[in-house]
A and B are shown apart, each in its own frame.
Chain A
């Protein structure tokens, strides 16, 4: 079992970069689309995890190892599980009789299409001005840690307070309010 052979194999690119990019893009967008159009709510949640995994692969492809693994840990390990728990607790896995889309679906679709048109136009319009391929930045976890307790210590503290508040808030909101029960 050789030392670090894997990283050297991938770093120089076993496959052309663009093919990997298109594959991950297809996976991510397919997962996202499926999570929004499927009828069964649990299937939607599972498709959502495919989209999350695709995004984590994108992060890894962009040399953001730490963010990629954090994405898997937080989104697939926690948020997706929370979503399926919520679906089962609200009996949401039964498909409703009167369709899964709301009455105003046409307007919603039009708004989303308009947003995509504007964003896409802006990106394609400015594409020639964007920077080209740059060498991969070598970022170690140690640097991220130093930055977190150095320059970004205030946001870190605020996030800590926010997460604590969210934890307590979620428990209180979802707790039974009936008297006599714990």
Chain B
């Protein structure tokens, strides 16, 4: 059952069935919309129909007459409530004032400007349609080009620049180096905006249970982080805040923190005193929720005659929309462009701008754009030199022999393996044979392409960027002998209740079935930022490791005392305590647990009763994960369609707790990467109206569009406890460069295809035919 190369422990490394699945697959999950509280009312939002302008008046009189309507709120009703909006990095307020309900200046289509509270959602929506909004429309700023010269989206600001690091011009020294290079590759990538598209849209049930008690059921990435966020944002330090999110249907960064609508519901619940529910519908999601990507970048890479990089410069722009979750020039992300490569000198400028579009949120794989442009540029250099894509990487990647190494941006690496991952794939894929097949196919008018990409990703960041800190595990053996654990983790589908149970069962020596993991409630476990930055398996896994080991020490001490044996001679396996060389003394763990809880007099002198241990593992500042992917495509010259024929992955995420969970993470990320390259696009017309507001028009990859992936694992243990490395985002990061490189390779008979995503059939066929197919009215 183990994937090749995975060291097997008792449970670590095994494809254990997920503990969550029977509940989720039989419709017994508990998502926010499953919550029904006595007296609960329902909310709906009236939303702005224009992208930019001033509200002249809001007339709610007709809406208030609808039977079943209890209350209608507009911004002025919330004027007495402090709102200091913040993103995932909870300590800081966002730089743009972000009111729950539009306060007069309309900044994008779909902004909530009024909220109806009614007996049912139907009635609330009926009332919303009767709210009359009078406005003065202005010309919106939609694109990044418009943002540079257009009037400020936020009039309190001088311009639309949300953030900038570096300078526009390339420094003279770097320019001289570029000029002296044997050749320079200039790569330009246009990455469209996309929607994170969790299956469960945003939603909240908020109830004030007493003057000091505030309970929230909210779909999120960490109940602990939400509780802290609410305390600070609403400035209610004296309230006890309970946040429950048992099951979450995906998030991918969107639900890092609550945002405008959830905050409006919280404020209304505090004021109105009855439980309120809001479930975002898919139409609201498309026009109102924060979105992701929309970046443009130019990369200049200098090479010597052998294809070694000499220097480089990146120029990066990011469309933050009107109300982004963060301040946004994506600087931190840019820092990780080169740690896997020998890049002697690199300069960059990054900019983020405000526009009259929905704000930007995080999305799985923030290193995607940088990885895409880097890997595409390397392939172009390889073609320039008439060498294979793997060869240009062999000449530039940092190998085991090069480490430890400190890269240009000051990032130290000492255990990365992208080169080794790539070689692992090359052992299993015959590139020379493929080139023969490719040449033969071209003669028949069939266009096959090979894409290779390599990358590293900093995961499990801890202690160097708040809110990313350590993770907590409390493990206890109940008097029944069952093991119960409370963790700071939170799953949006990650299966942490499974993987953490595997670690605990493995380390203690009990049956997997006898371990239950509790999470998803801030009264359980302790503070943790949840699923963000591929961190939980690594850090919480380490916490579960150590807490379990601490508990085992106590079990051994008690057993040694009860059995008059040496603690070193004691082992626990399958829930039974054994003494080496004395099988007759074996004893069920349950018997010992009964003693530990109920018979303190039988415990060693001075030992407190009970059988539990807890540990917060701070983790390392970051843990690097490496991977190489390879795919083969065929592009139809008849229709411009791309068929993915084969896809191989070799990743190194250290100790693999559960190969099925790891492969699920990679596959899910790849599906999103494939969607980015071929299908997905949030676009706006000139007035700022979205061109896709349903899944009929916003195309997600389906099971038919995603190939079977071949997984290969390298397992270089990290220095983190347990040896794990994060693996939550790699597929989304490396999927696009791998697929783009394959498509570009397939179409080299027609020239060098520039990356302008998505690669729609119209764009690809136009490239193949050497003419603009985009119009034709």
Same assembly: no
Which B residues fall within an 8 A CB radius of A? none
Q: Which residues of A contact B (CB under 8 A)?
A: none
